[in-house]
Chains A and B, each alone.
Chain A
Amino acid sequence: MKNLLARPIVRLLLAVVIAVVIIVAPISSSSFINYQLSLIAVFAVALLGLNIVMGYTGQVSLGQSAFLGLGAYIAAYGVRQEWPVVVIFLLCCIIPAAVGLLVALAAARLRGLALAMVTIALPIIGVPLAKRFPDFTGGSVGSTVSWLEAPEGSGLADDQFRYYLVVAIAVVLFILGRNLVRGRIGRAFAIVKSNEAVALSMGISPYRYKVLAFTIASLFGGASGFLYIAVVQYTSPETLSFATSINLVAAMVIGGSASILGTVLGAIYFVMLPVVAGQIDSSRTALISGAALLLVLFLLPGGLVSLPRRIAQLVRGGRGGSPRSRAAADRPPTGDTAPRTTAAPEAEKQPR
């Protein structure tokens, strides 16, 4: 199984299949499904930012929803002022990044719990602040926009057009994010995460890289705010509420921290779980979501991204013995320990 995936041809084929599915999916799907798929792209971008600062650099951030909300408000304001879309998009990236930079300059001196407290403050201050400036934000009622209608003659419905736009931007951002974490900066992040003293001894300033990670996370957060307005066409103080931040962190861990694929899985989980829970029993969604969260954390401590490895492990172990004895038997160096060793550090990456 592993060898199969390692072959370049198989990987290429897989990529082609996924690309075709992404391109073809919205054409025959209902507007509801397209909305869900677009939302997954929106929150995948926000989660990617969060993963860069938390998963890859190991710093706690509970403020991602504030940047998402800020980006959304800037986009909504820009649409009302009839600014060009490209300008709006750039502002949605630059302003949250600048705010993130300012906060990080002060906050990155802290670590652990203290840092978490500072980042919590962002959504908590953000909500009353958003209500306080109704001219800019629309107050508690929020602001509705109507834009990004499908161009005449494209043959697309609005929801299809928005899907393509949002997914295209998300894919570009994901390629940028992937290159970042795989490159020089990503390696520096990894060292800052594992040991700041070692980083210093190698000439890498942990402070500077932490600030950088925060700034990039805020930029992705702001960009996802732009995408949010493109899809939802509405924003209110609820968008930047603290609960969203916490749910994003949970989704990131569940998807798989420090993993690009895990980020996408986390976004799918974030968007689809409430929908699925609602199908089961609308008045018990919180309960079902909580149970699902516990289930994933117990069965897949490395996140959803470790599911294929886990299945492979179970299949290979399935030839003999009860599950319990099998798990025990797999522990010795039979090759099955590989998934465990890769999963364990991921769990450790989570701040305690």
Chain B
Amino acid sequence: MKNSLKPNKRVVGTIAVLGVLALTVTGCTRTATDGGAGAGTGADETAAPSPGITDTTLSLGISSPLSGPTAGPGSCSVAGLDSYLEAQNAAGGFEFGDGKTREVTLTYLDDTYDPAKTVSNFKQLVGDGIFAYVGALGTPTNAAIMPIANSEEVPQVLLVTGATAFSEDQKANPWTFGLLPTYYDEANTFGKLLADAGKPITVAVLSQNDDFGKDYVAGLTDAIEGSDVTIVDSATYEPTDTTLDSQVTQLAASKADVLMSAVSVTPLQVGVLTKAQSIGWLPRIFLPSNTSTPGTILEPGGATAYPAVYSTSLTKVPASPTFAEDEDVKAYNAAFAEYGSKIAAVYTPHCAWSYAEGAILGEAFKGMEEPTRDSFMTALKSIKDFQAPLLLDGITVDTTRDDQPAISGLTLVQASGPGYAPAKAY
């Protein structure tokens, strides 16, 4: 009561205090620590170190979907990489081109495949001082941060996506490029197998109704141009569809010899395999690498009913008995059991891809002569004929091309027994 007798004095006093406070805070303008430090100072003989690197450590960051519908592949894109890095750290650390040995740490954040969260995570990682952003999964999520990464000159490299947009113009976006062969390459490799057969073959095409689907169709069409192979019917689907039975029935009416089933949704791909055989259509089938895992696609889909099931592959499948005695696979399995299994519960090919990606990073570190992002990018962009662990024979890493991802070779494989084996000619 007493206080309320002199309200004005109090109000004025408080506002004055606040005003002074505000001015004080305004005075301390923030220092420009955000990114941007990658550019060297020109004439200096040794450039100042970039953020995220010391004489003994280097920190990497990644934002992938770790929850939600894409959590499986997203978690694997982190787990494989983390397994390689941690195993190498435990073995003494990474050798760098400047003669020092560093421990490489990975900070990973969940973006649930939401681009706005990816931007947020990227800003957080850069603010926390990561050296480079590596191996993130997802097309929209990576597209959202590509302009920021390039304007702040933070490496955004070896992205786990098959979209062409990240690698096709590395002159315009010098800080960004992808890891994996594109969807176009996958279908193109398969188309060549058909064209090389040198006989009339009819093909039915089922693809997703968007630019990814178009990439697949374009890859196939370009490969069979001028050969005896013809596309006799095609159908599209939406990822939100609950069943593709009508599309399969329609395509079955064409009685095509081959079905290219470029379906990227696991349950739908299984549905295609079960439906086609249930109506007596048994073509040879091509599956994209995303949806070709034996345990989740081939077995439930009853793939053994078909004369041949093809897919493309980059890596040895760790669970496959064919590679059980392979040194790379043994190392991978040990590392994954110790480090990766905490992050990803189920195997998808992304685990193996991102494990190989760790080795590519290690190769880049070896060539890095200065502790700067510039030097890292130069080293990373000069890797050629590098045989990364888990990659199949004949698939090597070549980062020197300005319009291609790091890996662009592909091996065509054919389902046999519980896994895949190299494909025979058609």
Complex Cα distance A150/B139, Å? 29
Q: Which A residues are in CB contact (< 8 Å) with B140?
A: 140-142, 236-238
Q: Is B123 a contact partner of A20 (Cβ separation < 8 A)?
A: no
User: At the interface, is chain A mostly helix, strand, loop or mixed?
Assistant: helix
Q: Which of A12, A232, A285 contacts B116 (CB 8 A)?
A: A232
Complex Cα distance A13/B123, Å? 34
Q: Is B115 a contact partner of A283 (Cβ separation < 8 A)?
A: no
Given contacts A9-B10, A13-B14, contact A27 B30 (CB under 8 A): yes
Q: How far is the CB of B348 from chain A (nearest CB, A)?
A: 15
Q: How far is the CB of A173 from chain B (nearest CB, A)?
A: 19
Q: Is A35 a contact partner of B120 (Cβ separation < 8 A)?
A: yes
Q: Is B7 a contact partner of A9 (Cβ separation < 8 A)?
A: yes
Q: Is A232 a contact partner of B30 (Cβ separation < 8 A)?
A: no
Q: Is A31 a contact partner of B18 (Cβ separation < 8 A)?
A: no
Q: How far is the CB of B237 from chain A (nearest CB, A)?
A: 10
Q: Which A residues are in CB contact (< 8 Å) with B71?
A: 286
Q: Is A140 a contact partner of B139 (Cβ separation < 8 A)?
A: yes
Complex Cα distance A36/B30, Å? 17
Q: Is A139 a contact partner of B210 (Cβ separation < 8 A)?
A: yes
Q: Which B residues are in CB contact (< 8 Å) with A286?
A: 67-68, 71, 112
Complex Cα distance A16/B14, Å? 10
Q: Is B127 a contact partner of A142 (Cβ separation < 8 A)?
A: no
Q: Which A residues are in CB contact (< 8 Å) with B87?
A: none
Complex Cα distance A336/B124, Å? 43
Q: Which A residues are in CB contact (< 8 Å) with B337?
A: none
Q: Looking at chain B, what size class is its interface with the partner chain?
A: 35 or more
Complex Cα distance A239/B13, Å? 47
CB-nearest residue of chain A to B66: A283
Complex Cα distance A275/B118, Å? 11
A24 sits at the interface (CB 8 A): yes
A313 sits at the interface (CB 8 A): no
Q: Which B residues are in CB contact (< 8 Å) with A20?
A: 18, 21-22
Given contacts A20-B18, A27-B25, A283-B343, contact A139 B211 (CB under 8 A): yes
Q: Which of A30, A128, A244, A274 contacts B240 (CB 8 A)?
A: A128
A306 sits at the interface (CB 8 A): no
Q: Which B residues are in CB contact (< 8 Å) with A283?
A: 66, 75, 78, 108, 110, 342-343
Interface segment, one of B93-101, B142-150, B362-370: B142-150
B117 sits at the interface (CB 8 A): yes
Q: Is B143 a contact partner of A142 (Cβ separation < 8 A)?
A: yes
A243 sits at the interface (CB 8 A): yes
Q: Is A239 a contact partner of B14 (Cβ separation < 8 A)?
A: no
Q: How far is the CB of B355 from chain A (nearest CB, A)?
A: 17
Q: Is A127 a contact partner of B120 (Cβ separation < 8 A)?
A: no
Q: Is A278 a contact partner of B30 (Cβ separation < 8 A)?
A: no
Complex Cα distance A228/B144, Å? 12
Q: Is A234 a contact partner of B143 (Cβ separation < 8 A)?
A: yes
CB-nearest residue of chain B to A17: B18
Q: How far is the CB of B289 from chain A (nearest CB, A)?
A: 18
Q: How far is the CB of A109 from chain B (nearest CB, A)?
A: 26
Q: How far is the CB of A34 from chain B (nearest CB, A)?
A: 9
Q: Is A134 a contact partner of B211 (Cβ separation < 8 A)?
A: yes
A28 sits at the interface (CB 8 A): yes
Q: How far is the CB of A308 from chain B (nearest CB, A)?
A: 20
CB-nearest residue of chain B to A228: B116
CB-nearest residue of chain B to A132: B209
Q: Which of B26, B68, B211 contacts A24 (CB 8 A)?
A: B26
Q: Which B residues are in CB contact (< 8 Å) with A32?
A: 120, 123-124, 126-127
Q: How far is the CB of B25 from chain A (nearest CB, A)?
A: 5
Residue-by-residue, is A162-198 near B (CB-CB < 8 Å gives 1, otherwise 0)?
0000000000000000000000000000000000000
Q: Is A39 a contact partner of B120 (Cβ separation < 8 A)?
A: yes
Complex Cα distance A292/B238, Å? 34
B278 sits at the interface (CB 8 A): no
A319 sits at the interface (CB 8 A): no
Q: How far is the CB of B239 from chain A (nearest CB, A)?
A: 8
Complex Cα distance A13/B147, Å? 42
B338 sits at the interface (CB 8 A): no
Q: Is B127 a contact partner of A285 (Cβ separation < 8 A)?
A: no
Complex Cα distance A125/B26, Å? 47
Q: Is B212 a contact partner of A140 (Cβ separation < 8 A)?
A: yes
Q: Which of A7, A146, A238, A282 contacts B110 (CB 8 A)?
A: A282
Q: Which A residues are in CB contact (< 8 Å) with B148?
A: 233
CB-nearest residue of chain B to A158: B151
A106 sits at the interface (CB 8 A): no
Residue-by-residue, is A268-291 near B (CB-CB < 8 Å gives 1, otherwise 0)?
000000110110001101100000
Q: How far is the CB of B33 from chain A (nearest CB, A)?
A: 8
Most buried by B among A7, A30, A232, A238: A238
B328 sits at the interface (CB 8 A): no
Residue-by-residue, is B372-391 near A (CB-CB < 8 Å gives 1, otherwise 0)?
00000000000000000000
Complex Cα distance A280/B162, Å? 31
Residues facing B in A1-55 (CB within 8 A) are 7, 9, 12-13, 16-17, 20, 23-24, 27-32, 35-36, 39
Given contacts A20-B22, A283-B343, contact A274 B112 (CB under 8 A): yes
Complex Cα distance A286/B240, Å? 22
Complex Cα distance A232/B26, Å? 26
CB-nearest residue of chain B to A285: B110
Residue-by-residue, is A113-139 near B (CB-CB < 8 Å gives 1, otherwise 0)?
000000000001001100110100001
Complex Cα distance A131/B210, Å? 6
B114 sits at the interface (CB 8 A): yes
Q: How far is the CB of B6 from chain A (nearest CB, A)?
A: 10
Q: Which of A39, A134, A278 contacts B109 (CB 8 A)?
A: A278
Chain A residues with a Cβ under 8 A of chain B:
7, 9, 12-13, 16-17, 20, 23-24, 27-32, 35-36, 39, 124, 127-128, 131-132, 134, 139-142, 144, 146, 228, 232-239, 243-244, 274-275, 277-278, 282-283, 285-286
Known: A27-B29, A30-B33, A141-B211. 4 other contacts (CB 8 A): A16-B14, A32-B124, A35-B123, A144-B147
- The 5 A-B pairs with the shortest beta carbon distances in the complex, nearest first, are A286-B67, A236-B140, A234-B144, A32-B123, A131-B210
